[in-house]
Amino acid sequence: MRFQTVGMMLGLALLPLTLQGQQAALRPWQPTDYYRLTVVTDPKLSPDGRRVAFVVTTVVEDKDRRHNEIWLAPSDGSAPAFRYTSPATEATSPTWSPDGSLLAFSSKREGSDVDIWFLRTSAPGGEAFQIKGAHAMPVFSRDGQKLVYSWSGDEPDSLKQQTWRTRVSPAAITHGPDPKRFDGRVYTSIPLVADERGFLAPKETRRPNHLYLVPVSGGVPQQLTSGDFSQTAPAWSPDGKTIVFVQDSTLVARRKDDRVHLLEGSRYGE
């Protein structure tokens, strides 16, 4: 019921965005109406339940693309929703700190190779900032003093000049037995995974994600896991002494064998 109430409050708060022409006479849907659509997704309640952060997506007609911003609204509907991130940049994935004083989000911005940014929520209007060592969307510890995240590490310089589509699997056969009949490539894994922008690189050329820990004050991240498998979706135990995560325990692209694992506090300095 709580989520239903939040959804109703969001709908009421966004009425100024969606009902700009409410006095106009009803008419059939037109293809150009698509550019007027406003979509609300990913609502996140603040820890005290008084505010909701959510993503507002609009369509930029002249640039033929979608635009994402993070907005805030009081959960009781006492005031209109308002834009919280800069309209000049994209922003998604709002994440509250346990005390509600920080809001982490993802945003690609010029001058930074890291997409993770933070805003202080106690005084709206402040500048977004980054935390040194936070390279991917973090999960706050229960006391708000640590950040854990899943990351594949810095990309080697040798790969930065290559696009994903030009990276060839080391297991690929690049020269067939009869070049006149076959001049393509044969892969031992299936790289044809849609990601809305093309195709992902073969699994053999991708680096596994591992878990990293960094204090909320910033610093050099501590690597918690290693190996050939990826560890993702970390979550803290209620006492903050254990991290649970999902590990893909196969290296074969056609099969997926996700398993849940625990990481005890002694492994990361507790």
Q: What is the arithmetic mean of pLDDT over 130-156?
A: 93
200: in domain: no
The per-residue pLDDT for range 154-202, each reduced to its tens digit, is 876 666 665 555 555 555 555 556 666 655 555 555 545 444 444 555 5
In a domain, 146, yes or no: no
Return phi, psi of residue 13, to 5°. -65, -30
What are the CA-CA distances from residue 117 to residues 54, 137, 154, 212, 221 (Å)? 16, 9, 18, 17, 16
Residue 197 domain-assigned (yes or no): no
CB neighbours of 125 closer than 8 A, spacing ≥ 6? Answer: none
Cα–Cα distance measured from residue 195 to residue 61, given in angstroms and rounded to the nearest whole number:
23
Q: What is the pLDDT of residue 159?
A: 61
Model pLDDT, residue 200: 54
Q: Which residues in 37-58 are b (16+ Cβ under 10 Å) and which e?
A: eeebeebbbbeeeebbbbbbbb
- Domain membership flag for residue 48: yes
Percent share of the chain, pLDDT over 70 = 64
What ranges in 157-234 are assigned the alpha helix state H? 157-160
Q: Are strands 146-151 and 92-96 parallel, antiparallel or unpaired?
A: unpaired
CA distance 202 to 18: 42
Provide DSSP, 31-81. GGGGGG--EEEEEEE-TTSSEEEEEEEEEEGGGTEEEEEEEEEETT-SS--
Most confident by average pLDDT, 9-18, 106-115, 142-151, 192-201: 142-151
Residue 46 lies in a domain: yes
pLDDT in tens, 20-44: 545 557 889 888 888 889 999 999 9
- pTM summary value: 0.74
pLDDT number for residue 182 = 59
pLDDT of res. 166: 56
Q: Is 52 inside any structural domain? A: yes
Tally the domains of the chain: 1
Which residue is listed with tokens 């053999």?
204
Spacing of C-alpha 194 from chain mean position = 17
**Would you tell me how many other CB atoms lie within 10 Å of the CB of residue 87?**
10
Q: Tens digit of pLDDT for each residue in 231-263?
A: 999 999 999 999 999 987 765 444 455 666 777
- Model pLDDT, residue 91: 97
For residue 201, CA distances in Å to 67, 198, 207, 257 come to 26, 10, 11, 20
Domain residue limits at 88: 36-130
